[in-house]
Amino acid sequence: MHYADSVIDLVGNTPLVKLTSVTKGIQATVLAKIEYLNPGGSSKDRIATNIIDAAEREGLLKPGGTIVEPTSGNTGIGLALVAQQRGYRCVFVLPDKVGEDKRNVLTAYGAEIVVTPTAVAPEDPDSYYSVSDRLAREIPGAFKPNQYSNPNGPLSHYETTGPEIWRDTDGLVTHFVAGVGTGGTISGVGRYLKEVSDGRVQIIGADPEGSVYSGGTGRPYLVEGVGEDFWPSAYDGSVVDEIIASTDAESFEMTRRLAREEGLLVGGSSGLAVSVALKAARDLPADAVVVVLLPDGGRGYLGKIFNEKWMRSYGFAPESEGSTVRDLLA
Ligand code: PMP
């Protein structure tokens, strides 16, 4: 019989698929790595597994312990999934702007959530940061993964994502593109691919326009999960050759095209990454192989990027739905 002993064993080994429509006019091969096929639905399953394994090894997390982290997104799902399988409690601190659907996903996996007000300063005792620090201090046996500074985050990509890309391209990959949030993905994959190719593979970070990585100050942008207003220690700029920015409009348009033209229902940071990958691939020769990582799926964004009303309310002009059936019935 062929089966996994635990859902955790299904993390990683995600496939590459060639992009064939959005790449029209480009000579290079552009391959997308589909991270939404991880069991928790994102690349963050990888870091969750690695961070918890390491915390167990180092004695930071003991049987019956509690994982406390300020996170509302994919990292929470990954941590909740691993915690549940290993018998840990999970407490996540979220700002009140996080929608009900996202809260429900975390509680569905068995996590407890604490909601904090958005409209207070970071140093306020009720803030997102203060509350998670206090809980981590006061709950006995608490462990705080801190994805922005935990070296086991990038290490998980060095040990799994990077080798998978090298293996699946038979070492022919020439460029790697990923969005930069904590920086864990680009730093871990980048370091591996640089080492294994003697520096030949070019590492390109995709950044939402306005974020620090592309020279901004963290001015608000709408793409989720990428860009920062500070420099996290999980980010290692020494393995990154270039950072290319895209606007929200470019990222969202590409996100919608990936669903319609490539059959890939993915999140906005995937649209950002592909938009940047195509900018990088534009002038590359036919023997270039660009691998672009798509971090999560699109289901969490149906009310936003895939909703015309929401798109228009932010001034984006999504392509017309052009319903021929509606015209026929009129
Ligand atoms: N996209 C999404 C949807 C994410 O949740 C994250 C993680 N913050 C990223 C991209 C960026 O990955 P990393 O933190 O490894 O830079």
Residue 330 in this model has a pLDDT that exceeds 80 = no
The predicted structure's pLDDT at residue 128: 82
Residue nearest to atom 12 of ligand 1 (CA): 181
CA distances from 139 to 2, 94, 135, 136, 143 (A): 41, 17, 6, 6, 9
Q: What pLDDT, in 10s, does the model give residues 16-39?
A: 999 999 999 999 999 999 999 999
Residue nearest to atom 2 of ligand 1 (CA): 225
pLDDT band at 321 (very low <50, low <70, confident <90, very high): low
Q: Is 306 exposed, middle or buried (0-12, 13-18, 19+ CB in 10 A)?
A: middle
Going by DSSP bridges, is the β-strand pair 142-143/66-70 parallel, antiparallel, or unpaired?
parallel
pLDDT band at 320 (very low <50, low <70, confident <90, very high): low
Atom of ligand 1 nearest to the CA of 270: 1
Active site residue 33: no
Question: Distance from the CA of 182 to the center of ligand 1, in angstroms?
Answer: 7
Closest residue by Cα to residue 68 from 153, 134, 150, 148: 134
For the segment 196-207, the average pLDDT, to the nearest whole number, is: 98
pTM attached to this predicted model = 0.95
Which tokens sit at 148? 């922005």
The predicted structure's pLDDT at residue 244: 98
Are the C-beta atoms of residues 187 and 239 closer than 8 Å to each other? yes
Residue nearest to atom 6 of ligand 1 (CA): 225
Residue nearest to atom 4 of ligand 1 (CA): 225
Ligand 1: which of 71, 74, 254 to mutate, judged by most atoms within 8 Å of the beta carbon?
74
The predicted structure's pLDDT at residue 72: 73
For the segment 4-14, the average pLDDT, to the nearest whole number, is: 97
The predicted structure's pLDDT at residue 166: 99
Residue nearest to atom 7 of ligand 1 (CA): 225
Residue 73 in this model has a pLDDT that exceeds 90 = no
The predicted structure's pLDDT at residue 316: 96
Q: What pLDDT, in 10s, does the model give residues 256-312?
A: 999 999 999 999 999 999 999 999 999 999 999 999 999 999 999 999 999 999 999
pLDDT band at 160 (very low <50, low <70, confident <90, very high): very high
Instruction: From the candidates 18, 24, 33, 44, give the one annotated as an active-site residue.
Output: 44
Q: What pLDDT, in 10s, does the model give residues 289-301?
A: 999 999 999 999 9
Residues of the chain with pLDDT > 70, as a percent, come to 98
Residues of the chain with pLDDT > 90, as a percent, come to 85
Ligand 1: which of 106, 214, 269 to mutate, judged by most atoms within 8 Å of the beta carbon?
269
Selected residue with higher pLDDT from 97 and 49: 49
pLDDT band at 230 (very low <50, low <70, confident <90, very high): confident
The predicted structure's pLDDT at residue 323: 64
Question: Distance from the CA of 295 to the center of ligand 1, in angstroms?
Answer: 7
Ligand 1: which of 33, 43, 47 to mutate, judged by most atoms within 8 Å of the beta carbon?
43
What whole-number distance in Å separates Cα of residue 100 and Cα of residue 96?
Answer: 9
Atom of ligand 1 nearest to the CA of 180: 16
Q: What pLDDT, in 10s, does the model give residues 108-137?
A: 999 999 999 878 887 899 988 899 999 999
Are the C-beta atoms of residues 176 and 189 closer than 8 Å to each other? yes
Question: Distance from the CA of 131 to the center of ligand 1, in angstroms?
Answer: 23
C-alpha triplet 271, 44, 115: angle, nearest 5°: 95
Are the C-beta atoms of residues 22 and 279 closer than 8 Å to each other? no
Question: Distance from the CA of 297 to the center of ligand 1, in angstroms?
Answer: 12
The predicted structure's pLDDT at residue 49: 97
Question: Distance from the CA of 248 to the center of ligand 1, in angstroms?
Answer: 16
Residue 197 in this model has a pLDDT that exceeds 80 = yes
pLDDT band at 99 (very low <50, low <70, confident <90, very high): confident
The predicted structure's pLDDT at residue 38: 98
* Phi, psi angle pair for 203, to nearest 5°: -110, 120
Residue 324 in this model has a pLDDT that exceeds 80 = no
Residues with beta carbon inside 6 Å of ligand 1? 44, 73-74, 179-185, 224-226, 267, 269, 295-296
Ligand 1: which of 191, 226, 235, 274 to mutate, judged by most atoms within 8 Å of the beta carbon?
226
Q: What is the mean pLDDT of the chain?
A: 94
Are the C-beta atoms of residues 20 and 262 closer than 8 Å to each other? yes
ipTM, 2 dp = 0.98
